[in-house]
Amino acid sequence: MTFLTNMTQHTAATVFTVVFLVIFGTTILSVAIRLIIYAKKVYLRRNEHTTITTNPSTPTNRAVANETLDTNSVEKLLEEVAPLQFSPEQLTGFTTNYVTKLGSGGFGAVYKGWLPNKVKIAVKVLRGDNLDERIKEQFMAEVGTIGRTHHINLVRLYGFCFEQELKALVFEYMKNGSLDRYLFDHEKHRTNVAALHEIAVGTAKGIKYLHEECENRIIHYDIKPENILLDANFTPKVADFGLARLLSRANTHITMTGMRGTPGYAAPEMWVPGAPITYKCDVYSFGIMLFEIVRRRRNFDERATESQQWFPTEALKRFVEGRLGEVMASLHGVQEWESMEKAERMCKVGLLCVQYRPQARPEMSMVVKMLEGEMEVTAPPTNAFQHFMGVEIEGRSSSTNPVTSGSSTR
């Protein structure tokens, strides 16, 4: 009996051991297989795609294959690796040898194209000598800021090419072009105030995201209608980050030696060499643009009398006199009460944004709330512009007129 009991116990122990070893071996084998599959995927991704580098002059992997673009959506690829690296030959094919030009400027030219999966793109080709540091700086500014930043009101960067013979950026295609064409071509576009108000709100949300919701604050430095693009649904997208800079949350300002931005939109402190520059310079530029959105006219009119040449001063004067409504009533498209209210609100917010002293300008989160009616618009100060001409900015003298129009300084 004792012998049988011992045999039973021995058999049970053996069975338990065998079962344990089978389960343990199966688990180890499963883990090993998964590791092999993961390693293979990583290897394939590294050979099919390239991730963005902090120094584009450093050798990178092969460009993404056309076949990959055929079998996967751009959205899926961007979730895995963003932005993508394209070869010069691919961009030549995508644009059919750059046959359709969408626009041009000091940076170079933009061409229309299609990815192999029929997604429309805009290819921005940077113009300049291969060794031109400004070209490299602009390229790095675009990729380093917008490359990993995604928001409905920011233009989407799909990829880039940084080769000796070609430096280009590939963006999503914007069907309705830039805001300046939309605003100032009165014969082509006659949009109501409500639609313009939505464009203003969307643009403000995009700038708010750059300033307040990114890990590092992004200062755009060149907010103006030419750099706001409109998609097929007229959703505004902030674009052209060639002058942008990253600013850590620990730093309060940047000191620059040269002018940055576009005369007529650049904040007054931008005109003073060595002056401390904060993200509030974008708030000022947005305010200037807000007046142009309301009026559908440029803010500076050299044909007008001196006191009326710059619209913000005229708007402030009418506001102080309690006659701002008269200005709104004279605007094209402002007829019914609701449009009048939206236009007047945009005008008041614009006055707050373009104040001379940066610290007096509101945060973009406050701008969004005021434009959307979630926050009462505070009364603009009556002396908002008294320091504009030839006086000090944070202890530094300025003798340049910051309100005249002009082109970007890059």
Whether residue 407 lies inside any domain: the answer is no
Q: Between 260 and 367, where is the model more confident?
A: 367
**What's the CATH code of the domain at 243?**
1.10.510.10
Clarify whether residues 126 and 197 are in a common domain: no
Asked if 297 and 185 sit in the same domain, the reply is: yes
Terminal Cα distance for the chain, rounded: 98
- Return the bridge partners of 110, or none: 103, 124
Q: How many domains does the chain have?
A: 2
Instruction: Pick the last residue of a domain from 127, 150, 172.
Output: 172
Instruction: Assess contact for 69 and 116: CB atoms under 8 A.
Output: yes
The two tokens of residue 117 are: 């999966």
Domain match, 144 and 195 both: no
Per DSSP, the three-state class of 281 is helix
Same domain flag for 296 and 151? no
The pLDDT of residue 152 is 95
CATH code at 100? 3.30.200.20
Tell me if 6 is assigned to some domain: no
Q: In terms of DSSP H, where are the helices of 49-156?
A: 66-71, 74-80, 88-94, 133-146
Least confidently predicted of 6-10, 31-35, 235-239, 273-277: 6-10
Assign 279 a pLDDT band (cuts: 50, 70, 90).
very high
State the Cα–Cα distance between residues 394 and 378, nearest whole angstrom. 24
Mean pLDDT of the chain: 76
Closest CA to 228 of 183, 190, 168, 197: 183
Q: What is the CA radius of gyration of the chain?
A: 28
- What percentage of the chain reaches a pLDDT higher than 90? 35
In a domain, 380, yes or no: yes
Its domain, for residue 79, covers 66-172
Let me know whether 124 and 253 are in one domain: no
Look at residue 172 in the predicted model and tell me its pLDDT.
94
The answer to whether the CB of 86 falls within 8 A of the CB of 105 is no
Pair 156, 185 in one domain: no
Question: How many angstroms separate the CA atoms of 305 and 123, rounded?
Answer: 43
- The confidence band for 321, taking pLDDT boundaries of 50, 70 and 90, is confident
280 and 380 in a common domain: yes
Evaluate whether residue 28 is within a structural domain: no
pLDDT tens for 176-198 read 999 998 888 755 555 678 888 99
Of 106, 111, 115, 169, nearest to 142 by C-alpha is 169
Q: Which residue has the higher pLDDT, 36 or 299?
A: 299
Same domain? 393 vs 275: yes
The region of weakest confidence among 23-32, 107-116, 339-348 is 23-32
As a whole number of angstroms, the distance between CA 223 and CA 228 comes to 8
Structure tokens at 21: 């070893």
Spatial separation of the C-alpha atoms in residues 399 and 392, rounded to whole Å: 9
Whether 146 and 219 map to the same domain: the answer is: no
pLDDT at 22: 57
Q: Look up residue 73 and give its two tokens.
A: 């959506």
The residue among 17, 14, 13, 15 whose CA lies nearest residue 25 is 17
| pLDDT of residue 150 exceeding 50 | yes
d(CA 189, CA 201): 19
**Same-domain status, 168 and 191:** no
Q: Confidence class of residue 304 from pLDDT cuts 50, 70 and 90? A: low
Higher pLDDT, 63 or 74: 63
pLDDT of residue 16 exceeding 60: no
The Cα–Cα gap between 17 and 100 comes to 73
Q: What is the pLDDT of residue 375?
A: 94
120 is in an annotated binding site: no
What local confidence, expressed as pLDDT, does residue 370 receive?
Answer: 97
Closest CA to 319 of 365, 350, 360: 350
Give the per-residue pLDDT at 92: 96
Q: What is the pLDDT of residue 346?
A: 92
Q: Does pLDDT of 399 surpass 70?
A: no
pLDDT of residue 333: 56
Q: What is the pLDDT of residue 131?
A: 47
pLDDT in the model for residue 320:
85
Please determine, for residue 175, whether its predicted confidence score (pLDDT) is greater than 60.
yes
Tell me which DSSP letter residue 396 carries. Answer: E
Question: Which range, of 52-66, 116-130, 182-196, averages the lowest pLDDT?
Answer: 52-66
> What per-residue confidence (pLDDT) applies to 83?
80
What is the per-residue pLDDT for 349? 95
User: Residue 110: inside a domain, yes or no?
Assistant: yes
pLDDT at 265: 93
Band the pLDDT of 44: cuts 50, 70, 90: very low
DSSP 112: E
Q: Are residues 232 and 102 in the same domain?
A: no
Domain C-terminal end among 148, 172, 196: 172
Q: For residue 314, what pLDDT is reported?
A: 83
Instruction: Specify if 114 maps to a domain.
Output: yes
Could you list the active site residues? Answer: 222
Q: Which of 34-43, 160-169, 311-320, 369-378 has the highest mean pLDDT?
A: 369-378
In 285-332, the DSSP E strands lie at none
Range from 273-277, 369-373, 380-384 that averages highest in pLDDT: 369-373
Residues 164 and 186 in one domain: no
Whether 12 maps to a domain, the answer reads: no
Domain boundary among 146, 172, 198: 172
Q: How many Å apart are CA 144 and CA 138, to the nearest integer?
A: 10
134 within a domain of the structure (yes/no): yes
Cβ neighbours for 280, distance < 8 A, ≥ 6 positions apart: 267, 358, 359, 361
More confident residue, 45 or 273: 273
**What is the tens place of the pLDDT at every residue in 219-230?**
999 999 999 999
Residue 297 pLDDT grade (very low, low, confident, very high; cuts 50, 70, 90): confident
